[in-house]
Amino acid sequence: MPTVLGCIADDFTGATDLAGLLARSGVPVSLRIGVPEEPPVNAAAMEVIALKCRTAPVPEAVSDARAALKWLQQAGAKRFFWKYCSTFDSTAKGNIGPVAEALMKDLGAEQTIYCPAFPENGRAVFMGNLFVGQQLLAESPMKDHPLTPMRDSNLMRILSPQVQGKVGLINRLAVAAGDETVRKELRKLQEEGVAHVVVDAVANSDLEVIAHACREMVLLTGGSAVAMPLPELFRAEGILAADASKAFAPSTDPGTIVLSGSCSAMTRQQVARYLETNAPAYQIDPVELANNGPQAALNWLAQQDLTRAPILYATAEPAELKKVQGILGAENAGELVEHALAACAVAARDAGARRFVVAGGETSGAVTQALGVNRLHIGEEIAPGVPWTYCRSDGHVIALTLKSGNFGAEMFFRDAQAMLETT
């Protein structure tokens, strides 16, 4: 059977998040790192292409997304999903809207939806405003993303400057009334010339309604959670085979490395809790990297017992991060950390590490590229939206989990390792 749903994600952790939720249905899911150079062969029913375009210049992001779309069409996909972060992560000049509009043009779609809600992880959209728990996003700790800060929680205000078409809203009252009401609202908005529709969702039941109402749209956009119901809906339509596959989980050697580049509030807690376990730890200083490169970190890593799962981290408190960015510049500081952790990943692999726990979207992108990974098979979820994945790197089978900064519980790093020890 050809690919049924083709997905494009704006970063690597977002791609694994989406792939993990789709895989809950038991449907085979394949995750490609970047647009494959070869034509589709043995494509899965659900294909996800991970780009590294969240903070790329708009023309580059649009070009990469259009190339991914073309490959997915060659794989047989007729329906598509543009996945971005459940905290939207976009400035007024961001690329979420431009990419969506470009994909719509290529597909001949007159309308699409935007729904970054992920209730399991405390993300909700209400009256067009994005919430984290009970806080508006712009009033939460997540507002201070180092590269894509969110100073406005209203998705319509954020989206409008990014797109040429009109932006509208289907609010929670319409969603609560059911899928037929949502379809009527979509038709009404389309008659008014509204091409970009923000849709409220505060619970998983809302996502079920939205997916049911919009399942025939050629393009949907949002966080991963709104795509989660699609496999079962496609099964019901008969366009997806009814047989399910088990989660993919090959055995791997126990050598483990934890790499954390994220400075999100949750990752800071996760690193703090992991340090309490007395695992070997090395804190990377971006200023030191700028002056002397990553050799000190590599030297430290070479002395570690990988069965103790050492951690290398650049995770820092907001004040410290701001100070570093003031010295080096935000983009330069981030790239220095990414390159250093990527080099550490390769060194760890060459020293025998076969299990990699990575925190942070940009870090995950740098690590997977450095390891030469181009396809991941999706395994069991460690936490909502964070599965173990499996691939080959330099001829070795490795297990790799790519964690978005704000996902997972406080003991995530230990939880991830424990799961592999019991499978």
Q: Say if CB 132 and CB 122 are below 8 A apart.
A: yes
Residue in the block written with tokens 């490959």: 71
Lowest mean pLDDT among 131-135, 377-381, 409-413: 377-381
Residue 245 confidence (pLDDT) above 60: no
Q: Say if CB 15 and CB 48 are below 8 A apart.
A: yes
Q: Higher-confidence residue: 93 or 63?
A: 63
Query: What does the pLDDT average to over 398-409?
Result: 90
pLDDT averaged over every residue in the chain:
92
pLDDT tens-place string over residues 358-382: 999 889 989 999 999 988 888 888 9
pLDDT for position 144: 74
Run of H or E including 182: helix 179-191
Count Cα neighbours of 36 within 13 Å in the Cβ-side half-sphere. 21
pLDDT tens-place string over residues 14-52: 898 899 899 888 888 899 999 998 888 888 899 999 998
pLDDT for position 423: 55
Lowest mean pLDDT among 195-199, 301-305, 383-387: 383-387
Q: What domains lie within the chain, and their CATH numbers?
A: 5-237 (3.40.50.10840), 256-421 (3.40.980.20)
Residue 90 confidence (pLDDT) above 70: no
Lowest mean pLDDT among 26-40, 78-92, 343-357: 78-92
Q: In angstroms, how far is CA 219 from the centroid of its own chain? A: 18
Question: In the 3-class helix/strand/coil scheme, how is 45-113 assigned residue by residue?
Answer: CEEEEECCCCCCCHHHHHHHHHHHHHHHHHCCCCEEEEECCCCCCCCCCCCHHHHHHHHHHHHCCCCEE
pLDDT for position 244: 47
Query: What does the pLDDT average to over 263-268?
Result: 91
Residue 387 confidence (pLDDT) above 70: yes
Q: Say if CB 81 and CB 229 are below 8 A apart.
A: no
pLDDT tens-place string over residues 139-185: 987 777 766 778 889 999 999 999 999 999 999 999 999 999 999 99
pLDDT for position 305: 97
Residues 43, 102: Cα–Cα separation, whole Å = 24
